[in-house]
Amino acid sequence: MELSSSEKLNAYLKLIDYKRSIGITQWTIIAIFITASETVLVFSLNMDNEIAGWFGRILGIVIFWLGFVLYNRYRSLNKTVAKFLMELEEENNFKFQHYLQSQFHPKGLSTTSILVTSGVIYMVIALVSAIVKF
């Protein structure tokens, strides 16, 4: 069954909206998990019990990386939808996704590398704070 151009355009617009909702979800997830992780870390710094403090710091690190894994899962889904949108664009002579890929993505550090670097720095700070009492 062949779709008309208006049906293809309607499907394209719905997929764009779906891609946007995935992006919102992935950023909401990482924001919630980073906030929860930092909250646990701050509380662990105020604990008198050394074992509970260590547990809190480790829990904070685990929460951060769990958030990163979930963020990455939604990022992969978003990339899959973007790839499908690019295929639709080729069929319909649109160039929006291609333009985004060429203009935005190759510039500077990727979000993933920023999050991984931040996570490593966060782990070092959490572990150093466990070793050295402030």
Q: Which two tokens stand for residue 25?
A: 């979800």
Rounded to whole angstroms, the Cα distance separating 122 from 134 reads: 16
Q: What is the pLDDT of residue 11?
A: 82
Is the pLDDT at 1 greater than 90? The verdict is: no
Is the pLDDT at 49 greater than 80? The verdict is: yes
Rounded to whole angstroms, the Cα distance separating 45 from 126 reads: 9
Mean per-residue pLDDT for 59-64? 94
Which residues are CB-contacts of 60 (< 8 A; sequence separation ≥ 6)? Answer: 37, 38, 40, 41, 44, 126
User: CA nearest 78: which of 12, 29, 21?
Assistant: 21
Question: Tens digit of pLDDT for each residue in 62-111?
Answer: 999 999 999 999 999 998 998 888 888 877 777 777 767 776 666 677 88
